[in-house]
Structure formats: structure tokens, C-alpha cells
A and B are shown apart, each in its own frame.
Chain A
Amino acid sequence: MEAFFANFDLVINGFSWTVRLTLLSALGSFLLGLVLTAMRVSPVPLMRGIATTYVETVRNTPLTLVLLFCGLGLSSALGFTFTENVEWDVFWFAVIGLSAYTACFVSESLRSGINTIPLGQIEAARSIGLTFGQNLQLILLPQALRAVIGPLGSVLIALTKNTTIASAAGLGVIEASAQMKQMFDKGIAPVIPTFIGFAIGFLVLTLPMGFFFSWLARRMAVAR
């Protein structure tokens, strides 16, 4: 307890970072989740394909890999930075990584909400002349959101807990990126291929699980 109070400003500082990280990532993932959902129910097959591929790939990749890819892949290898300040940079890459990852779960929730809306209402909306965008905005999303407030809450809680992974990864990134940069500069380790290798390894483990549950969901939907 004494240690807790002795380092109180540090604790507060860490806490405020967590809050900021959570809020910004929640906003980012919600917006990206909305876009992904809109794409997944759009009448254009290409849109559906892109969004589905994104969701299936990213949600089956461990968060640490997504974050490391954002941090190292984007910044160190591609030389993409937001600011001169490394800490801020890490923060923004964490926001991007968490948003990119959490958006998949937001989108999954919203889509399951949309699936609860009777098809007839969507046709009724079309028959009075609403466009796809209006249908989405006025009929589908308002009802889907109401239906999935609970699941979205769980997603938010998971996101909050995941910020700890982001913090840990962030510390790692600062150190590792220095090392990686050295290795990279010396031409020892090709950064991107290494990550892709790791990512593929995990996808081999998680994608079949994803496919299995999609398949199961479809089976259950028919049986209902």
C-alpha cells in the first residue's frame, strides 16, 4: 500500500493513459466497425469480400501481433511516424492497433444484431424507396444497435483489458524497435517477412477455429 501511494503520480499517470487509450480506441473501433458492417451487408460483392476477409483475418490474429505489426511494421520498417516523440508515437500506434483489432468484434456484434431484423422490414424499406444507405442508417443500424448493446459492452470491457497488452507491447516496442532497427540497419532480420511468418503461424491455429464457429453458427441458424 505504501508503495502504491509513494508512486501515486505514476499510478495516476498510467491510469490516465489507459483511459485515453481506451476512449480513443473505443471510438476508433466503433467507427471502423460501423464501416465494416456496412460493407458486409452491402449489395456490392467486392465490398462484402474485402470486409469479410479483413474481419476473418484480423480477429484470428493475436492482438500482440496486430500491435507489433502496427508498431514495428508501420513505423520501423516503413518509416511511418506521427510525431518526433517516441512515446506519443507508440500511443497512436496502440490506438490504431487496438481499433483495427476491436473493430472486428464490433462488426461481428452489429452483424448479429442485423441478422435479428426480419428480412421483410428491409424489403418494406426498399419498397417505399429508401436507398441502401438510408436503409442502413434508418432501419438496420438503429435496431441492430439496440439488440447488441449487451455484446458491445462486453467488447468494450475486453478492449479496456486489452489496453494492458498494448502498454506491455508498447514498452517492448520502444526497446525492440531500437534493437530491430539496428538489426534491420545491419540487414540481419528482415522485419516484415518475420512478422508475416509469425502471423501465418497463428492464423493456422486460429482460422480453423473461426471457420468452425462460422459453420456452427450457420448450422444452428438452420436448425432454429
Chain B
Amino acid sequence: MTATPLVVLEDVNKHFGQLHVLKDIQLSVQSGEVVVVIGPSGSGKSTLCRTINRLETIDNGRIMLDGKELPAEGRGLAKLRSDVGMVFQSFNLFSHKTVLQNVTLGPIKVLKKGRAEAEKRGMELLDRVQIADQANKYPAQLSGGQQQRVAIARALAMNPKVLMFDEPTSALDPEMVQEVLDVMIDLATEGMTMVVVTHEMGFARRAAHRVVFMADGEIVEEATPDEFFTNPQKQRAKDFLSKILSH
């Protein structure tokens, strides 16, 4: 791990109208680190992910990527934004494009790569998420698990410095959860920097270096997965864990 963290959030605040969704967030993620964000629904986990690649603006505070502050808006932002890959709960593949086109669109249009080069790399990535045989199908022809793996390949194709996952398995049928988690565990093992919002404790225990517990827009507790799941310190974390463990 390097000395300067890859992602740094300093005193980040965000409101939706009256609602204070992010309260003085301090967070830093080292290069190669896998951070799992966990917490009750509505605690601000998605908003946190979205502010990191500026899909949401922030009220104040700073967000730094690789030592540079992200510009708030404008042309520079679009390109910098691709340094932060995003995998969404609902996959969000482009439905009028084939699997391979979904993966090559960004490299061709944003990174200005040639089609042949982009397609070669696209096929490698699809191979890596084990879906190369579906390259010419359209998203609607794939299962949820397959779509999510394509979405991961699409994010990887931009060579992001960090990948954000916002509940990547919550919209999946139970039998498809593992195939997506397997891909994520592989990425983690290969040293990808990842911030993962998930309630999958198996994944957190196997792949995460750190668990961040959020409640009501605040980071309430940070610990290693082992410490957090076996011996949470704060009452709100204990309450939350007892709820998700009871079913």
C-alpha cells in the first residue's frame, strides 16, 4: 500500500433539501484496499458512492482522487469521472447495444481507442467475467447475474483507479448472487481498489480489508471485518447486526 491514499473524503456534507444525508464524512481508501460499506437503508451509502464520482454534487468538503481534487463540473469532469468505475444495483446496461458494444463504448468514445483495440480488450474482459460467449447478445437476453458481470466488465474497460459497487447483488435472484461475488472476489485478490456497499457478509469476510458502518449519514464505526462482525463497539452497529443476522 502506498503512503498517499487513493481516495480521500474530507468533511464532506450533502443535503437533499432539509435532509442532511452526509454528515462530515471522513474517509480514505488506500490503493489496493477493499472497503465494505454497510448500514441501514436510507443511511446515505448510495449517496456516498455517487458523490465519489460526482453523480451527486456535495455542499462542502473535498473529495480527492489520487491526490487531485475532482472538479465540480465542466468538461474536465467527464473524463476524470471515468477514473472512478461504478457498478449499480440495477446493472444499467445500454439496452440498445450488444454486450460487447456496452463494454467498448467508453474506450472508443471517451478514451479514443481504435475499434479493433477496444474490441480485443473488451473480449479479454468479458472472458475474465466469464461471459465472452454472450458477446453479441443484447442485455435483455441475459440473466441478471450475467448482466451484472457485463456491467463489471464495462466499468473495468475504462481502466478505473477505483471501482464503486452499490449493492451489486441486491437485485439478483439468490442463485445468481455467488457468480457475481466470485468475480468481485477475483478482482479484490488481484489488487483492485474497491468500495463495496453490500450486506453480503461472506464477501466482506473473505475479501474486505475494512468495514465502514454508516447510520443516518454518519460513519459510525470502522473496523476489520472480523472485529466488526464479532465484536461491534457502537450500539447502533450492534442493533443493525442483530437485525440482519436474525434472518
Contacts and interface: CB of A to CB of B under 8 A. Distances in A.
Contact of B105 (A126, A127, A138, A146): A138
Interface stretch (A54-62, A128-136, A149-157): A128-136
A142 B106 contact: no
Interface string B65-86: 0000000000100111110111
A128 B110 contact: yes
Q: Looking at chain A, what size class is its interface with the partner chain?
A: 10 to 19
Contacts of A143: 95-96
Nearest to B50: A123
A124 B92 contact: yes
Nearest to B53: A127
A121 to B, nearest CB: 5
A125 interface: yes
Nearest to A43: B73
Contacts of B78: 126, 129-131
A24 interface: no
Interface in A80-127: 118, 120-121, 123-127
Interface residues of B, number: 27
Contacts of A31: none
A124, A142, A143, A146, most chain B CB atoms within 10 A: A124
Nearest to A123: B55
B93 interface: yes
A126 B73 CA distance: 12
Nearest to B83: A129
Contacts of B154: 124, 128
Contacts, number: 66
A143 B96 CA distance: 7
A139 interface: yes
A125 B88 CA distance: 12
B93 A124 contact: yes
A146 B92 CA distance: 18
Nearest to A137: B109
B158 A128 contact: yes
A139 B158 CA distance: 17
Contacts of A120: 88, 90-92
B141 to A, nearest CB: 17
B208 interface: no
Contacts of A139: 94
Contacts of B110: 128-130, 134
B155 interface: yes
A130 B109 contact: yes
A176 B96 CA distance: 51
Contacts of B96: 142-143, 146
B65 to A, nearest CB: 13
Contacts of A121: 92-95
A118 B96 CA distance: 12
A123 to B, nearest CB: 6
Nearest to A139: B94
Interface string B202-220: 0000000000000000000
A104 B154 CA distance: 37
Interface of A: 118, 120-121, 123-131, 134, 138-139, 142-143, 146
19 contacts: A118-B90, A118-B92, A120-B88, A124-B86, A127-B53, A127-B55, A127-B155, A128-B155, A128-B158, A129-B80, A129-B106, A129-B110, A129-B158, A130-B78, A130-B105, A130-B109, A130-B110, A131-B78, A134-B109
Ranked 5 nearest A-B pairs via Cβ: A129-B82, A128-B106, A120-B92, A124-B92, A127-B86
